[in-house]
Structure 1
């Protein structure tokens, strides 16, 4: 009898141990800059397999996500495409102090889905043989601001105004180009890398043409006791996550 009881206790303990990850699993709600959409989906899949936690991600322009957070949107983590908004979140008391860090450095590219659309990107932009050139809104999207800075560096910002179409986010900007509504556009290099079709014509914009696109994440106050949110931020710093981020065309910053 004693042996059977001991065996039963052993099975019960084994069952509890096997269930413990599921019992402890939580959910993290993440507000993510649109350029990081494909990368986030891949990262989330690996994170969920490794931890048992669930990731719920909402994508949009950094400026609009910031406004949503300030208006009480129930996010746990803010992953912006710049430093300025997470810094403001921290300074304004909406983010956990010292949780802010750079998770990726983005790269800007001029892209057209048409093969051999241009040989020299500066010449193409100067000649303006296209009907429309897409950029993200510089006021809300850091990649749009970077595009403006690049065009200013080339002394083309003013002359191109009549042909510019502005997307609310870099995701919408990419769709303008991919759908043919704009013949070319300034997009995130990571978006082109994730594009499943032929890559068309690509010009990685020299990084000294625009300020570094350092993308920062911060834990929001409502999630200060959310273990899943803390685990997500720790995961973003892990070697496996950094490798995925680099594969999508970003630099990582120590």
Structure 2
């Protein structure tokens, strides 16, 4: 058994997660190589305020679909650790461009896997820290609670349909895949309203500029219920899985708040929040 495997085994048996009130790290967490790397990296750099003794700050770039759960997680994280997290939301594509051009982000939470992987490949992110923090779910939503979003789409009873720009937002790619699966690509094309990101897409529908549109389920669900309007949760076989990856950026190697945040995203506390907003099972390492 090598030194790394021995260390991981010892951590899984003896270490308590310093960010979740002494709860033991799950075996599932430590069996995943990318997760173990982040956890061990965090332990070595002084993961929590109780270990480091000094509060740190981190700027996190977050995909728009994750806005609500990210805010809830940040509030819990700051209370538990004393560290400060500043969240910046936008389309994954635009945030990638900002990072490449020197934006001072410490962590990147994309809506896909390709963009964090590219940053790793280009030397802008710390290798071994990338992992899937959420499994996204696509929904077709209408703000009219008296209507069926699915029926509006299938019966061609709409003038405008909103989707996120597929060149910038992974949820836009998923929406196009659904329309293709339903053989509605051609008929929907001239009636599309394109959002720069999934938040703007939701706004088009909420404001009535589009009768229906594709959004992240997390935008219209909380605690297992649709918060307003009517939503059709798209069958997962209609589109490729939306695996959302996070990664530590190079500038944040010595930032305790950034490494602690990544570890927190992999905790059981985070898993509970994800489920409340309609995300899939406990995230898995790519």
State the TM-score, normalizing by the size of structure 2.
0.78
Q: 1:116 to 1:67 in 2, by over 3 A?
A: same
Map Cα deviations across residues 55-102 of structure 1 (whole Å, 9 max, x no partner): 001000000000000000000000000000001010011000000000
Which structure is larger by alpha-carbon Rg, 1 or 2?
1
How far, CA to CA, are the matches of 2:268 and 2:191 in structure 1?
43
Q: CA deviation at 1:128?
A: 2.1
2:155 pairs with one of 95, 109, 127: 127
Q: Judge conservation of contact 1:22–1:52 (CA < 8 Å) in 2.
A: no
State the TM-score, normalizing by the size of structure 1.
0.88
1:207 pairs with one of 236, 245, 266: 236
How far, CA to CA, are the matches of 1:227 and 1:20 in structure 2?
12
* Gap runs ≥5 in structure 1: 1-18
Counterpart of 1:181? Answer: 209
SS of the aligned residue for 2:231 comes to strand
How far, CA to CA, are the matches of 2:69 and 2:266 in structure 1?
14
1:118 equivalenced with 2:151 (yes/no): no
Map Cα deviations across residues 203-228 of structure 1 (whole Å, 9 max, x no partner): 00011111000000000000011111
How far, CA to CA, are the matches of 1:22 and 1:98 in structure 2?
23
SS of the aligned residue for 1:75 comes to coil
1:79 equivalenced with 2:109 (yes/no): yes
* Gap runs ≥5 in structure 2: 1-48
Root-mean-square deviation (CA), in Å? Answer: 1.9
How far, CA to CA, are the matches of 1:20 and 1:167 in structure 2?
43
How far, CA to CA, are the matches of 2:70 and 2:50 in structure 1?
26
1:63 equivalenced with 2:105 (yes/no): no
How far, CA to CA, are the matches of 1:20 and 1:162 in structure 2?
57
1:48 equivalenced with 2:78 (yes/no): yes
Structural mapping, 1:82-121, within 5 Å: 82-118=112-148, 121=150
Structural mapping, 1:231-246, within 5 Å: 231-246=260-275
